[in-house]
Amino acid sequence: MTILHLRRARTSLVLDARGPGLPRVVHWGGDVGDLDADALRQLTDATVPPVVPSSFDEPPALSLLPEASAGWSGRPGLVGHRDGRDWSTAFQLDGLDVDQPSDAPARVTVRASDRAAGLGLTIEITLDPYGLLTIRHRLRNDGDGAYEVQGLTPVLPVPAVATELLDLTGRWCRERSPQRHPWQHGAWAREGRHGRTGHDATLLLVAGTAGFGFGHGEVWAVHTAWSGDHVTVAERRPTGESTLGGGELLAPGEIRLAPGEEYDTPLLYAVWSDVGLDGLSDVLHAHLRARPGHPRSPRPVTLNVWEAVYFDHDLDRLRALADRAAHLGVERFVLDDGWFRGRRDDTAGLGDWYVDESVWPDGLQPLIDHVTGQGLQFGLWVEPEMVNPDSDLFRAHPDWLLAVPGRLPPAWRNQQVLDLGRPEAYDHVLERLDALLRDHPGISYLKWDHNRDLTEAGHHGRPGVHGQTLAVYRLLDELRRRHPGVEIESCSSGGARVDLAILARTDRVWASDCNDALERLSIQRWTGLLLPPELIGTHIGPERSHTTHRVHDLGFRAATALFGHHGIEWDIASISAAEQTELAAWVALHKRLRPLLHAGRVVRVDHPDPAVWAHGVVDHDTTRAVYAVATLATSVAQTPGAVRLPGLDPARRYRVRAVAGVPAPATIERSAAPWLASGVTLSGAALARVGVQLPALHPEQSLVLEVDEVG
């Protein structure tokens, strides 16, 4: 065995795999250079902790699966037992498979076993060309009798210089709220027991050097790619170790491995940067964009009719919306909730995936034909995992629920969850979705919703979230196999199912049900830490937000929705001629800019005044960029200070001007910055280090700036 050094982009992972125990992680973080065997041995020696008084006589060895037998007294990597025995392990290294091709991810498979405990362990590690690390543990029951897994959590060590933690929390309509604090002794565990990823899911748990920001500081982060119950955890021990990790949260008895059976953890994604949070996003976005299944076509500008009509489905009204949408430049029309049997409001119908003949006497085809005839794609809303007790499906199969015997879980939006771990329920849902798509070849998009937590989610008397999560993945995979041309959106009461496992089988997420542009600025900024803009649905809502009742002008709403997978969620049939003209201009602007917005590097500005936010996208050859500056509130200062525009080539010169084609915010006439009328030419260094003064915008306004290299 050996000391392994995986290097990709600017990241190194060094593992002491000389045995006999599991490999010790010597280093995860910045590249340590091209080290020969002797240099690796010396690095390994240099990182062995000292033996201190009142402690173990051997230094502890922290592996990707921490064990008490290796001197670890923190949260164990494996919690499990075989009828009360085999509860502590000492895995021995059996072998390593190492594959480090120059043009593909480096891969290491660690094979280990604890013969006394009757367990086998495989650890799969990849380091992709951008520096993104993934880890997965697979546990095998090699013994006699069932082995119960209560927790299996990969972890990575983080050096002591990381002294602050940042993670995200939230609720319906307020997803991805950042929270930040010093990293002190103890465990900071972000647990989600929603049976879905959760509005409060952190997306990333970040540890970093003091004061790290979007553009500065050294940061380490992990993401737990799982759409069921999960934990993402940072632990700092008084013994000196700090770790980041994540895995599935398992209920008692949920995973009982029969002899020969295996349990796989979710993938733990891990990423490092020494240029702040934007550097984390660089790696994650590059990784996602390189996937063979990443959406490659221009993201169609979407009209979703939910906030325009809610459950009030009327063919003529919907046709009129489609006509207006086509006129404005929209490219996809999505018919939301309310089209299926009995679904006149949210109390009934879920599960009955047949077109409601009382509302749609000729079926959906007349609308689909009308929409596609206008050159728009047609999308349809579904919520396949759910059932209303007031539905034919429930009346026929009241036992097809995730529930504890003898009682129904507490109702939530009047609905319950189908147990897709039951083959008959799974087959029924697959058949219905498949039939819908086969009967309506014009449907090229599904908005896949999931509007409640899984509560007391029992499957034949045992915990069922794990099985349900895998069944949903199977369902999506099978449907995609049968209908490869259909795109799928992951929606879950807004942004409650945003994770990299669901995104391996869907094409975008609905970040939030809140279309208030002010709230959206924050929701999108923090969702964008993990996901590139083209995977985040961003829609222009009505003037008065339906969820917050704030009123915003169209410019602010449109500039906020400009950068992502752009769309409209507003009753555009009833808007004024002036609004139509302006909206069409924003849609045209988005289409002109989207090749840049959906491929370039995302930058977020660390501006000292919390009332001013700026962000942008810079193309990879740094010849062009688009930035938006938004005022979130009034500023304490008369002027909030120049806004720096980072990410450009310091040596090249750029023309900066207000973006052409859409009206500037109303206040600019009165209080323009002197340069704004004709633009200004500055070097990339001056833009990043000095920046530009802004007009005195009113609160809740945005200015979009276009930046082009000048020859």
Binding interface with ligand DGJ (CB under 6 A):
306, 336-337, 381, 449, 451, 491, 493-494, 510, 513
Is residue 257 exposed (0-12), middle (13-18) or buried (19+ Cβ within 10 Å)?
buried
Q: What is the CA radius of gyration of the chain?
A: 27
Cβ contacts of 558 within 8 Å, gap of 6 or more: 540, 582, 583, 586, 662
Smallest distance from ligand DGJ to CB 249, Å: 24
- C-alpha dihedral (664, 665, 669, 675), degrees to nearest 10: -60
Tokens of 164: 């602050």
Instruction: Give rounded-to-5 percent helix, strand, coil for the chain.
Output: 20, 30, 45
Contact 491, 450 (CB under 8 A): yes
Token match 């990823």: residue?
197
The least CB distance from residue 456 to ligand DGJ, in Å, is 22
CA distances from residue 499 to 45, 194, 200, 268, 337 in whole angstroms, order as listed: 38, 14, 12, 11, 23
Q: Which two tokens stand for residue 18?
A: 């000389």
Q: From CA 451, how far away is CA 412, in angstroms rounded?
A: 8
Least distance (Å) from ligand DGJ to the CB of residue 539? 9
Of residues 270 and 364, the one with the C-beta less far from ligand DGJ: 364
**Residue 247 or 494: which CB sits closer to ligand DGJ?**
494
Identified catalytic residue from 167, 229, 449, 453: 449
Three-state secondary structure of 298-340: CCCCEEECHHHHCCCCCHHHHHHHHHHHHHHCCCEEEECCCCE
Nearest distance, CB of residue 493 and ligand DGJ, angstroms: 5
351 vs 695, which CB is nearer to ligand DGJ?
351
Q: Quote the least distance from Cβ 485 to ligand DGJ, whole Å.
A: 22
Q: Please, what is the minimum distance in Å from the beta carbon of residue 379 to ligand DGJ?
A: 11
Question: DSSP character for 208?
Answer: E
Taking each helix axis as running N to C, give the angle between helix 465-482 and helix 423-439, from 0 to 180 degrees, rounded to the nearest 10: 30
Nearer to ligand DGJ, 336 or 419 (CB): 336
Q: Which residue is nearest to ligand DGJ (CB)?
A: 337
Least separation in angstroms between CB 490 and ligand DGJ: 10
Give, in order, the Cα–Cα distances in Å from 319 to each of 7, 222, 304, 307, 369: 56, 46, 13, 16, 10
| Residue linked to tokens 């990293």 | 183
What is the smallest separation between the CB atom of 306 and ligand DGJ, expressed in angstroms?
Answer: 5
Q: Which lies closer to ligand DGJ via its Cβ, residue 272 or residue 570?
A: 570
> Of 305, 307, 331, which Cα lies nearest the Cα of 543?
307
Residues 257, 263, 266: CA angle, nearest 5 degrees: 150
Alpha-carbon gap, residue 711 to 699, rounded angstroms: 36
Of 26 and 436, which CB lies nearer to ligand DGJ in the complex structure? Answer: 436
Nearer to ligand DGJ, 123 or 561 (CB): 561
Q: Is 264 a catalytic residue?
A: no
Active-site residue 513, yes or no?
yes
Closest to ligand DGJ by CB, 63 or 515: 515
The residue annotated as part of the active site, out of 336, 337, 356, 513, is: 513
- Residues catalogued as catalytic: 449, 513
